[in-house]
Structure 1
Amino acid sequence: MFFSPTINHLTSRGHNIHILCMSTGNADGIGDVRKEELYKASVILKVPLQQVTTIDHPDFQDGFGKVWNSGKLSKIVEKKILAHAIDMIITFDNYGVSGHCNHRDVHQGVRRFTLDTSEKDIEAWELVSSNIVRKYSGPIDIWLSFWTLKGEMHCLVNEHPLRSYAAMSQHLSQWVWFRKLFVSFSSYTYVNTLRKINK
């Protein structure tokens, strides 16, 4: 729903993408279903299945009011990075696009990793959350995003928005009318603004 412009931009330029999902999304008891849906969506986004990892940890169950430990999350991120020689992380910012507590916890865990790691060659970038008007401005936000760039920021335009729609439609357990509208009209289908997380 949020990162497909970044994924499409990087895969189309030959970058090797790994997806790390910190939860199966089991709040409604369908974690296994949602895990399989993520794999199907990843295939459409041209990310090999062996490069998609979903964590099912008792301390990282999704849902409001469930705080994820940033130290444990940092260690999981570190393990993934070392196992695959990853040199860049892209994650949520402190608001997490929708304000979801788990998105915010992921940001805190990655931030903790960047502060604790001795690895100097790893860059971390965050997806900038936009206000509600811009969030639902669709492709118009491409222009607004470039206009508001400052400092260490990049705008990645989605060259394949229909692919993003097709990927999201693989999440049948969540593919209800308002998410169809979101994917159609959300600026996050068309452009991602990334800001560097400074150590």
Structure 2
Amino acid sequence: MAFILIIASLVFLWIVSLCKVLLLPRIPFGNHFTHNNGNASFFVSPQFLLFLISLVFSGRAFRKRNALLVIAHPDDESMFFTPTINFLTSKGHNVQILCLSIGDADGKGNIRKQELFQACVALKVPMQQVKIVNHPDLQDGFGKVWSHNLLAKIIEEEITRCCIDMIITFDSHGVSGHCNHRDVHYGVCKLLHDTLQRDIEVWELVSTNILRKYSGPVDIWLSIFLAMLHTNGTMQCLVNEHSRRSVIAMAQHSSQWVWFRKLFVALSSYTYMNTLRKV
């Protein structure tokens, strides 16, 4: 009987959390902001307030941002970053995606390139704003060491080409611990250290422990609480306004859309929210 009560409680908590994820972005709150054209306005919840101020607004006027999402493999954007992508695109910001390999570990690199373009269409990111690098020294795979100097050089070129003023990437653990994810993080850090790009904001996706990682929407409660503790705005929680879009985008990666990745998308907290930390 006790076991049944525990299971029922967990199911109830999951449903309540999912409802909060789905309904929270649509609930009007007292605080609202108007774009400088005076026509468009939108409401934000308290946990979005500081993030909107720090990322979206500069002074009193709305400022369109050029954000560069730096990932290691095709499908990283759909598995881990869809809440961030959905947030930025829904607010009218430019999102550029720099994928630093074609994901050719299984010899499917050319297929995975096309899948990434299709996924970005589902995520409302124009194909011309997606760049995929196929460098002989940046090949997908565990045990493949990527040069941080090379990564910094490629990222810097993309920053210059696209007039980037914000970078979003993995943290030092890389969510899954994949060495390529971690190298991307250190490549960005190398760039910041060497060039002192103080006019560019850098945000990293916070890795969580395995319990939080596979708690699905339930993690929203702790994520919001931890973000609110950082009153200086250095950590923000973004709730996915379009969770279904995460599934649609990941399904475009048909060569990777196997049963355990379907489970990952359903159970992963990264489908429902992203916690970003300022570097």
> What is the TM-score with the length of structure 2 in the denominator?
0.70
> How far does residue 70 in structure 1 lie from its aligned partner after superposition?
0.2
1:52 aligns with 2:130: yes
Aligned ranges 1:88-103 → 2 under 5 Å: 88-103=166-181
SS state of the match for residue 90, structure 1?
strand
Q: Tell me the residue number matched to 1:6.
A: 84
Per-residue Cα deviation, 1:149-198 (whole angstroms, up to 9, x for no partner) = 2431011110000011000000000000110011011000000000011x
SS at match of 1:61: coil
Residue 25 of structure 1 pairs with residue 103 of structure 2: yes
In the TM superposition, residue 118 of structure 1 has moved relative to its aligned partner by 3.8
For residue 274 of structure 2, what is the aligned residue in structure 1?
192
Runs of 4+ in 1 over 6 A off after TM superposition: none
Q: Determine helix, strand or coil for the equivalent of 2:216.
A: coil
Larger radius of gyration: 2
- Structure 1 Cα separation of the partners of residues 91 and 220 of structure 2: 20
Q: Output the TM-score relative to the length of structure 1.
A: 0.97
How far apart, CA to CA, are the structure 2 residues paired with 1:82 and 1:55? 16
CA–CA distance in 2 between the matches of 1:119 and 1:82?
11
Supply the distance in 2 between the matched residues of 1:118 and 1:58 (Cα, whole angstroms).
Answer: 28
Q: Percent identity?
A: 66
1:136-151 equivalence runs, <5 A: 136-149=214-227, 150-151=229-230
Confirm whether residue 173 of structure 1 aligns to residue 255 of structure 2.
Answer: yes
Residue 77 in 1 paired to residue 155 in 2? yes
For this pair of structures, how many residues does the alignment match?
197
The superposition leaves residues 11-54 of structure 1 with CA deviations (integer Å, 9 ceiling, x where unpaired) of 00001000000000001111000010000000000000000000
Query: Deviation digits for residues 74-115 of structure 1, max 9, x if unmatched?
Result: 010000001010000000000000000000000000011111
5+ residue gaps, structure 2, are: 1-78
Q: d(CA) in 1 for partners of 2:82 and 2:273?
A: 9
Secondary structure in structure 2 of the residue aligned to 1:59: coil
Counterpart of 1:121, as a letter, is: D
Cα root mean square deviation, aligned: 0.7
Task: Please tell me the residue identity of whatever aligns with 2:160.
Answer: L
* Structure 1 unaligned residues grouped into runs of 5+: none
- Tell me the CA shift for residue 120 of structure 1: 2.1
Q: 2:242 aligns with which of 160, 179, 195?
A: 160
